[in-house]
C-alpha cells in the first residue's frame, strides 16, 4: 500500500545511533521530518544531511524534529554524525522494517544491475501524526527549502 498525504504515519520502533529505542509515538504533539536516505557518507546523502544541519535552527524554529533513516547500523550512524556534526537523530533500520513500512524499500537499478534499496523520500508529519507532505524528488543540497517553503 502506497502512503499518501492525509494518511496516518505508520508507527515504528527502532534504534538510534547510540542504540537507544526511538518510537514515532514519542514525537506525538511535534512536527516531524522523517527522511529516508540510502547510505551514510555517500555524496548525495551527505549533501542532504548537511543541508538539514545547516538549516537546523530554521527547521526547529518552524517546530520540526528531524529523524533520518537508513539501513546503516548504529556505529555507522554515529561516525556520520561525528564527521559532519549532525544535530539530529539517525535511525538504524538494519532489517529495513521501517523502510518497508513507509514503502521506500524498492527495486532499484544501477549500472545494469537490479537490487533492493532505499528510495530517497521525505515524509513531513504533523503534530497529530498525519502525513502532510511526501517529497520523492529530493534535491539533496537544498532539501530544507523543499520542506519549509511548502
Give the residue numbers marked as catalytic.
45
Cα 11 from Cα 129, distance rounded (Å): 9
**DSSP β-ladder status, 121-125 and 31-36:** antiparallel
Q: Give the cell for residue 71.
A: 539501513
How many Å separate Cα 146 from the centre of its chain? 14
- Cβ-in-10-Å burial (0-12, 13-18, 19+) of 8 comes to exposed
SS3 at position 34: strand
- Cβ-in-10-Å burial (0-12, 13-18, 19+) of 34 comes to buried
Bridge partner list, 104: none
Amino acid at each position: 500500500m502506497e502512503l499518501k498525504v492525509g494518511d496516518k504515519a505508520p508507527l515504528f520502533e527502532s534504534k538510534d545511533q547510540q542504540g537507544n529505542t526511538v518510537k514515532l509515538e514519542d514525537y506525538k504533539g511535534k512536527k516531524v521530518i522523517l527522511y529516508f536516505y540510502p547510505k551514510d557518507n555517500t555524496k548525495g546523502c551527505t549533501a542532504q544531511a548537511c543541508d538539514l544541519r545547516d538549516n537546523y535552527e530554521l527547521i526547529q524554529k518552524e517546530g520540526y524534529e528531524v529523524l533520518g533513516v537508513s539501513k546503516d547500523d548504529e556505529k555507522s550512524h554515529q561516525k556520520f554524525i561525528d564527521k559532519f556534526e549532525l544535530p539530529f537523530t539517525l535511525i538504524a533500520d538494519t532489517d529495513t522494517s521501517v523502510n518497508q513500512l513507509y514503502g521506500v524499500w524498492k527495486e532499484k537499478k544501477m549500472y545494469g544491475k537490479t537490487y533492493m534499496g532505499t528510495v530517497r523520500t521525505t515524509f513531513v508529519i504533523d503534530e497529530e501524526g498525519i502525513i502532510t507532505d511526501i517529497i520523492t524528488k529530493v534535491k539533496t543540497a537544498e532539501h530544507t527549502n523543499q520542506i519549509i517553503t511548502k
